[in-house]
Structure 1
């Protein structure tokens, strides 16, 4: 006798609930892309790298400026580093939806911004005053602006309680401290590497003289892939067997002469030239991604990006779990053979003394910064199978 339908419905609901555990993070760039009148604001959030900071935050409010308001701000001809400070003043590190704006205790609240979070905002200059005015209007002003409320709330563009809220305000917030000239940061590649777990790689750059090529390319854009100290230490026996020019080429192979954020790498899979590329000497590798995991394939070895050391345009530095071995210096890894037919004895190839093994112990993974993947594919297979099993059980038991 079939069981009652409500029990079957309950079982199906439980299975569906168990298979929907993924939480989608917000993406400020995609949200604003739906509103063309905010294209300039959206563009400069990306240029100043604030977009990535916003996306990393779990609770955030963005005070968005339309194209007309951005034109008035850009007319001040601020440097991109100063503009970052000004725009970061428009990002509140708390959630304020439309309802909350009109329910502020005593009508006024002072809240911190991402400018304050940088640690470079003196005094209270990194705070914004929010005041609920008579007649339903809500005004905003920087705390270091002599109490002036520069802008008013216009409308809500997007609200995902209590994750992200994007509210349009009428004009930019004025702040003398945020608009103070900000010099471009000094980007010393080897110093950055030495302080972030890549000292062994940095020492090799300096000893070989390859560091000068890295330094010369910073201003125009540079992406560095740094094998961590344990990886370099394990690779040293092979490194010592290379000639001086080969050592330089190997090290230059770990740099790309353009800025490539992690998101850019994920969306621009394919062949990449490197600092070692020179005419017939291709010295390139292929970038591939599987979800959030990005790999670099050289035909000899495959390395995985395990972390970001620094991301401040024009420079980005990533940690990788293997030394990148170019096919110009090392023999390509043999292609994997199809499994032998059942019943036949598989014959192994003899050792190749000339082809270094990239899977040996000298390519130790950087477990402290490893990227771990969840077997989503396996879950996708198991969930439907379990679902149909439950259905069949209730229908025919």
Structure 2
């Protein structure tokens, strides 16, 4: 019995080692599919974007961004003003906007393509945003660089990219120091179109007829006078001849 006990003492470590090795050698479970991109969660994690998140929710632009990201390969870029940028606006600015104008304002901060930080130097201006028409007096956004600094101008405000919040090759989110105010909503109105020139007035026929009639009348009057003068001359000549014969 002592012999069996000693044998178990020597075999027990080998049994435990074998069991442990088998357990450690088991493959790790495969990672699940990545969670769909969510712009709201990205901004919540970054903090200081409460106002922008609220506007994303009101206008449904946040849902639109998430849908486009998960169903398109073009990617997107978001310029995100923090809460202090919104608080620096004139009092009542956001409340004075209609729902449509709020939607246009937020869409103006979204680019329908992915822009990496290295691509800012090669962009063509004006940059087209989700707000649409990028022509002057509408929604133009121009980007310039100076060294590592990226500047944005809307025709109403000049802003700067403060830092990169998020980038995964599909979505890029950059913090900007000011709210991007588009010209269409906050800029000067386009000048009124000049009135069309009036068409040239044609000469009235009545005036021409009058002139012609006047000329005809003048010619007629001149002819009458000439006949009267001839008649008087002939009469005088006859009287002169008669007087000569009488003498």
Question: Which range, TM-score by smaller chain?
Answer: 0.5 to 0.7
TM-score normalized with structure 1 length: 0.37
Q: Deviations over 1:21-74 (max 9, x none)?
A: xxxxxxxxxxxxxxxxxxxxxxxxxxxxxxxxxxxxxxxxxxxxxxxxxxxxxx
State the partner residue of 2:9.
Answer: none
Q: What are the within-5 Å matches in structure 2 for residues 114-263 of structure 1?
A: 183-196=33-46, 197-219=48-70, 220=72, 221-235=75-89, 237-263=92-118
Counterpart Cα distance in 2 of 1:283 and 1:312 = 27
Unaligned runs of 5+ in 2: 1-23, 190-247
Q: Deviations over 1:340-387 (max 9, x none)?
A: xxxxxxxxxxxxxxxxxxxxxxxxxxxxxxxxxxxxxxxxxxxxxxxx
Q: Deviations over 1:292-313 (max 9, x none)?
A: 0001111111110001111112
Counterpart Cα distance in 1 of 2:174 and 2:82 = 10
State the partner residue of 2:233.
Answer: none
Helix, strand or coil for the counterpart of 1:225?
strand
Q: Name which of 131, 135, 143 aligns with 1:276.
A: 131
Q: Name which of 149, 157, 163 aligns with 1:301.
A: 157
Q: What are the within-5 Å matches in structure 2 for residues 311-322 of structure 1?
A: 311-322=167-178
Counterpart Cα distance in 2 of 1:231 and 1:224 = 15
State the partner residue of 2:181.
Answer: 325
Deviation at 1:332, TM superposition (A): 4.9
State the partner residue of 2:122.
Answer: 267
Deviation at 1:269, TM superposition (A): 4.9
Helix, strand or coil for the counterpart of 1:283?
coil
Q: Deviations over 1:259-307 (max 9, x none)?
A: 1011112332522111111598952301110010001111111110001
Deviation at 1:319, TM superposition (A): 0.4
Helix, strand or coil for the counterpart of 2:126?
strand
Unaligned runs of 5+ in 1: 1-143, 147-175, 334-397
Whichever structure has more strand as a proportion of its residues is 1
Helix, strand or coil for the counterpart of 1:271?
coil
Count residues with an aligned counterpart.
Answer: 159
Whichever structure has more helix as a proportion of its residues is 2
TM-score normalized with structure 2 length: 0.57
Counterpart Cα distance in 2 of 1:327 and 1:263 = 27
Return structure 1 stretches of 4+ with deviation > 3 angstroms: 278-282
Deviation at 1:181, TM superposition (A): 5.5
Question: Contact 1:311 / 1:317 at 8 angstroms: preserved in 2?
Answer: yes
Question: Contact 1:308 / 1:319 at 8 angstroms: preserved in 2?
Answer: yes
Counterpart Cα distance in 2 of 1:304 and 1:182 = 38
CA RMSD of aligned residues (A): 2.8
Q: Deviations over 1:207-245 (max 9, x none)?
A: 233323222322331100000111112326211111111
Counterpart Cα distance in 2 of 1:313 and 1:322 = 25
Counterpart Cα distance in 2 of 1:239 and 1:317 = 22
Helix, strand or coil for the counterpart of 1:207?
helix
